[in-house]
Amino acid sequence: MFNLKTLVRQNILALQPYSSARDEFKGNDGVFLDANENPFGTLNRYPNSDQKILKQKLADYKKLSSNNIFVGNGSDEIIDLIYRIFCNPNQDKALTFTPTFGMYQVAADINAIELITLPLNDKFQINTDALTPYFNDDNLKLIFICSPNNPTGNCFNASDIEFILKNFKGIVVIDEAYADFSDRESWSKSFESYPNLIVTQTFSKAWALAAARIGIAYASKEIVQLLNKVKMPYNISQLNEKAAIEALDNRSTFESNKRIILEEKAKLIQELKTLDIIKKIYPSDANFLLVEVDDANQLYQNLVEQKVITRNRNSLVKNSIRITVGKPEENQQLIKALKNS
């Protein structure tokens, strides 16, 4: 039986979260003399600490309860909160599959947690045989699965993810930052079957709001309550919450931009295939392509000199470069620069 309480740090279970007078008084109209705010201006009041409207819009969109939704200052905040809730510094461990997103390591280092890294196989899939022995490690609290994976671009096999969800007794985090670009089914509702699951998504990619810093977690009501307890009271600014609400209200913009990006991605693949300089294009379920070239360091520099900035991933996947799909004219500039390299 899964028992969430046994996984949570003692100090977090015992924590009394910060409570403001505004949390206690729920009405909108009143004379507010409780928070030492300035009475003048338009951004003079503290924002809501519970992002009620945004969560309700997300709940309607996703067809689940807002009790299963947490909103963070980007997924980066959510990753950090998960470490802080479940991992005792200098004692507990987390695990992920590399190459993958760098924040799992950075957040582990900040929190003094050992992150075990298991290499993906030559198809960039999870090697479950190599993973299984770690299930017996009582200090292993978290497994981070990035699917679609950054920087490789592919989704992991659903059967492997399911195997982990069923057999690991700690928390499984599936980072779906790129799920909006993929045809694969999202895991965002699967906490109903797997109480140890947290799925993160973000407004930073397909929703075109990287500057607004809005990340989302989908999980059981109990895990969402823990995230709410530990977050800073005003982690989401009023301006950023409004931007996310407007994006959800303008779904046709989201859909049409996404369609353009996916069409551009298909075109880009066709054009890259014709270039000798590109040795391999890895399969992608995301809005970027990982490509193999002869000499990634040199090509990266050549492109920079032509004012086209890509991501050199040579240190993670030998001689690879990660290319984000841009606007049509930006992609043409990339192709031109590649031809010039």
Give the residues lining the site for ligand PLP (CB under 6 A): 74-76, 101, 146, 150, 175, 177, 202, 204-205, 210, 215
Contacts 24+ apart (CB under 8 A), 57-62: 57/245, 57/248, 57/249, 58/216, 58/248, 61/248, 61/251, 62/188, 62/189, 62/218
CB of 66 or CB of 200, closer to ligand PLP: 200
Minimum distance between the CB of residue 123 and ligand PLP, rounded to whole angstroms? 19
CB of 86 or CB of 101, closer to ligand PLP: 101
- Whether omega for the bond prior to residue 89 falls within 30 degrees of 0, making it cis, is no
HSE at residue 45, side-chain half, CA atoms within 13 A, is 15
Neighbours of 186 (CB within 10 A): 16
Minimum distance between the CB of residue 58 and ligand PLP, rounded to whole angstroms? 14
CB of 175 or CB of 241, closer to ligand PLP: 175
Minimum distance between the CB of residue 175 and ligand PLP, rounded to whole angstroms? 5
CB of 47 or CB of 74, closer to ligand PLP: 74
Minimum distance between the CB of residue 246 and ligand PLP, rounded to whole angstroms? 18
Alpha-carbon span 274 to 294, nearest angstrom: 15
CB of 69 or CB of 338, closer to ligand PLP: 69
Minimum distance between the CB of residue 105 and ligand PLP, rounded to whole angstroms? 12
The residue sitting closest to ligand PLP, measured at its beta carbon, is 74
Q: Three-class SS of residue 218?
A: strand
CB of 87 or CB of 177, closer to ligand PLP: 177
Minimum distance between the CB of residue 134 and ligand PLP, rounded to whole angstroms? 22
